[in-house]
């Protein structure tokens, strides 16, 4: 009768990661969550389709709930086939929301859900986006996307100069034309336009005016749009896009694969275990996903003993790790847990090209480094990088650290706490529900001393 360890979003929850007697063994074969990235994209494609789509194994998290609320607000009908919520049927809106009056969507703390729905919300006469996470999502910028939508004819009122939530769009009758969009802070702005523009009645050209961040996620958007029958012409560098009007999303059956950023947290935990009998086995991790392959390469470069056999990945812990230099943009959501692993590697690690981490649920450069330093790690924040001087002997701990409203900081801090001599108390644990509500319970079942 163990489970809980925080599966509800009640504010102010604290947990403790305590040292274990003897060596730390992290072993087991946990089920991992379904992909957040593909749940979002397939559920949106199904929402826009003409007819019924079936989604197998959608992610179950706070972000998914925000997504489902948004799709219902657009007019889609969502129904579960089973009590375990493994099969979701979606009756789509055929590209045209059957909505006349104003609607409000509560987007929780889900940035990608907000941005992609901002694009599609432009099809509605009036939509307001609200968040019950004013200190996290409420501080994240949407300005570039709102300006791009304005060039299609959308009017908006937003909070502050950066276009924060709460915000309201007045859309409906959109024109086409040439859109310029920045990709420097987020790829989600571009993804939002790519979902929206095929539904317009005039052709659109999109120009990305600077260096697009998180390119694998823009490519995931293009891949899903293609599966849904949408045609988008673009160059290999993802700077120019041509989109023909009046396209139709096709209904489909979609199977959601496992989630690499969640897997990254478990792999990082097993890689810093000190007992050589540690063995973590994860399944449902599709080969060929750009982010997944880059993540495995990063662990291998650190010296982790990691083997892939089809969709199964086995990592044997209790091996020494060494520092790496990594262009972190490709695995942007995995950086906090890779930094946590690097804290126990021999030598120096440099995670560079990660400036966009300033604009996530927390400031994942400054906030993460501040908490890791408090815990006794040797980390240095830079504007676009994190530098880690590893301490294979372990760290001191014995303090309270805060998760800064950020699920990925919580995962990183829990991993670091496992290798501290005096444990760590972590506040704000409820934010884990954003992507991986069972993370702490799984980590405990694998061998960590959490309570
Ligand atoms: O498109 C997506 O699904 C996402 C894009 C990324 O954001 P940025 O493009 O802002 O880096 C990523 O961090 C986020 O978790 C999900
Ligand atoms: C940055 C993240 O999410 P989002 O941008 O969707 O809020 C994340 O899941 O790490």
Ligand 1 contacts CB of residue 37 (under 6 A):
yes
> Is omega for the bond preceding 141 within 30 degrees of 0, making it cis?
no
**Do 29 and 40 fall within a single domain?**
no
**121-137: pLDDT as tens digits:** 999 999 999 999 999 99
**Residues 268 and 398 reside in one and the same domain:** yes
Shared domain check, 162 and 23? no
Confidence of residue 10 (pLDDT cuts 50, 70, 90): confident
Confidence of residue 250 (pLDDT cuts 50, 70, 90): very high
Half-sphere exposure of 3 (CA within 13 A, CB side): 6
Q: pLDDT at residue 403 above 90?
A: yes
List strand residue ranges (DSSP E) for 102-239, in order.
103-106, 127-130, 155-159, 164-170, 177-181, 204-208, 232-234
Has residue 131 been placed in a domain?
Answer: yes
Q: Please check whether residues 281 and 355 belong to one and the same domain.
A: yes
User: Which positions ≥6 away from 247 have C-beta within 8 Å?
Assistant: 95, 198, 199, 229, 230, 231
Q: Are residues 189 and 265 in the same domain?
A: no
110 Cα nearest atom in ligand 2: 7
103 lies in the same domain as 239: yes
d(CA 290, CA 28): 26
In this structure, the answer to whether residues 78 and 65 fall within a common structural domain is: yes
Does 316 reside within a domain? Answer: yes
What is the model's pLDDT at position 3? 67
By alpha-carbon position, which residue is closest to atom 4 of ligand 1?
112
Pocket of ligand 2 (CB under 6 A): 110-112, 333, 360-361, 408, 435
Residue 438 is classified by DSSP as T
Residue (of 207, 206, 254, 208) closest to 229 by Cα position: 254
Q: Indicate whether 2 pLDDT > 70.
A: no
Tell me: is residue 214 an annotated ligand-binding position.
Answer: yes
State whether residue 3 is helix, strand or coil. Answer: coil
C-alpha span between 55 and 64 (Å, rounded): 13
| Ligand 2 atom closest to 434 (CA) | 9
What's the mean per-residue pLDDT of the chain?
97
What CATH number is associated with residue 77?
3.65.10.10
Residue 364 marked in a binding site:
yes
DSSP-derived secondary structure for 338-376: HHHHHTTSBSEEEEES-GGGGGSSS-TTHHHHHHHHHHT
- Which residue shows structure tokens 């590697």? 345
- Do 176 and 279 lie in one domain? The reply is no
Question: Residue 1: is its pLDDT beyond 60?
Answer: no
Last residue of a domain, one of 220, 236, 255: 255
For the chain, what is the domain count? 2
Which of 235, 255, 275 is at the close of a domain?
255
Q: Note whether residue 418 is domain-resident.
A: yes
Dist. CA 52 → ligand 2 center (Å): 28
Judge whether 328 lies within some domain: yes
Other Cβ atoms closer than 10 A to 22: 8
Q: Using a pLDDT cut of 90, give the percent of the chain over it.
A: 96
Q: Is residue 288 part of a domain?
A: yes
d(CA 442, CA 367): 25
The residue out of 194, 229, 255 marking a domain boundary is: 255
pLDDT at 64: 98
Q: Determine which residue's CA is closest to atom 4 belonging to ligand 2.
A: 111
User: How far, in Å, CA of 331 to CA of 261, rounded?
Assistant: 8
Per-residue model confidence as pLDDT tens digits over 308-323: 999 999 999 999 999 9
Query: In this structure, are 110 and 65 located in the same domain?
Result: yes
Task: Check pLDDT > 80 for residue 233.
Answer: yes
pLDDT at 430 over 60: yes
Judged against a pLDDT cut of 70, whether residue 157 lies above it is answered with yes
Closest approach atom of ligand 2 to CA 333: 10
Q: Identify whether residues 439 and 304 lie together within a single domain.
A: yes
| CA nearest ligand 2 atom 1, residue | 360
> Does the CB atom of residue 356 touch ligand 1 within 6 A?
yes
User: Mean pLDDT across the stretch 251-276?
Assistant: 98
95 known member of a binding site? no
Q: Is residue 7 part of a domain?
A: no
Considering the candidates 62, 333, 363, 406, report the single residue annotated as catalytic: 333
Instruction: HSE, CB side, 13 Å, CA atoms: give it for residue 44.
Output: 31
- The answer to whether 333 is a known catalytic residue is yes
Q: Is residue 20 part of a domain?
A: yes
Does the residue 1 lie in any domain?
no
* Co-location of 299 and 444 in the same domain: yes
Query: Which residues, including other chains, have CB under 8 Å from residue 402's CB and lie 6 or more apart?
Result: 371, 426, 427, 428
Are 296 and 396 in the same domain? yes
Domain range holding 205? 36-255
């Amino acid at each position: 009768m163990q489970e809980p360890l925080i599966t509800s979003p009640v504010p102010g929850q604290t947990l403790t990661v305590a040292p274990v007697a003897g060596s730390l063994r992290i072993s087991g074969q946990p089920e991992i969550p379904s992909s957040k990235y593909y749940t979002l994209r397939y559920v949106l494609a199904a929402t826009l389709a003409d007819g019924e789509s079936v989604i197998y194994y959608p992610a179950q998290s706070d972000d998914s709930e925000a997504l489902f609320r948004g799709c219902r607000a657009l007019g889609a009908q969502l129904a579960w086939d089973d009590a375990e919520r493994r099969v979701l049927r979606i009756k789509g809106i055929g590209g045209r929301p059957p909505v006349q009056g104003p609607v409000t969507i509560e987007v929780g703390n889900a940035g990608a859900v907000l941005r992609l729905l901002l694009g599609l919300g432009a099809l509605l006469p009036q939509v307001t986006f609200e968040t019950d996470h004013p200190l996290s999502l409420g501080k994240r910028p949407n300005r570039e996307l709102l300006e791009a939508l304005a060039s299609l004819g959308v009017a908006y009122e937003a909070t502050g100069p950066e276009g924060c939530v709460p915000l309201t769009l007045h859309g409906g009758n959109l024109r086409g034309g040439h859109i310029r969009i920045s990709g420097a802070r987020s790829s989600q702005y571009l993804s939002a336009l790519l979902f929206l523009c095929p539904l317009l009645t005039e052709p659109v050209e999109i120009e990305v005016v600077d260096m697009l961040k998180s390119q694998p996620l823009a490519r995931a958007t293009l891949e899903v749009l293609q599966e849904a029958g949408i045609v988008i012409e673009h160059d290999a560098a993802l700077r120019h896009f041509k989109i023909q009007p009046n396209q139709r999303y096709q209904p489909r059956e979609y199977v959601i694969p496992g989630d690499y950023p969640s897997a990254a947290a478990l792999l990082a935990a097993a890689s810093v275990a000190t007992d050589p009998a540690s063995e973590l086995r994860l399944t449902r991790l599709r080969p060929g996903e750009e982010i997944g392959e880059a993540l495995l390469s990063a662990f291998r470069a650190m010296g982790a003993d990691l083997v892939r056999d089809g969709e199964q990945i086995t990592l044997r812990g209790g091996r020494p790790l060494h520092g790496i230099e990594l262009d972190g943009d490709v695995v942007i959501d995995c950086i906090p847990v890779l930094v946590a692993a690097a804290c126990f590697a021999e030598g120096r690690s440099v995670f560079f090209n990660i400036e966009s981490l300033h604009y996530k649920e927390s400031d994942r450069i400054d906030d993460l480094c501040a908490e890791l330093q408090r815990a006794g790690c040797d980390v240095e924040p830079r504007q676009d990088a994190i530098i880690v001087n590893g301490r294979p002997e372990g760290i001191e701990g014995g303090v309270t650290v805060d998760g800064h409203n950020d699920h990925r900081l919580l995962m990183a801090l829990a991993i670091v706490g496992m290798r501290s001599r005096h444990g760590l108390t972590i506040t704000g644990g409820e934010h884990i529900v954003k992507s991986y509500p069972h993370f702490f319970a799984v980590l405990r079942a694998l061998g960590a001393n959490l309570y």
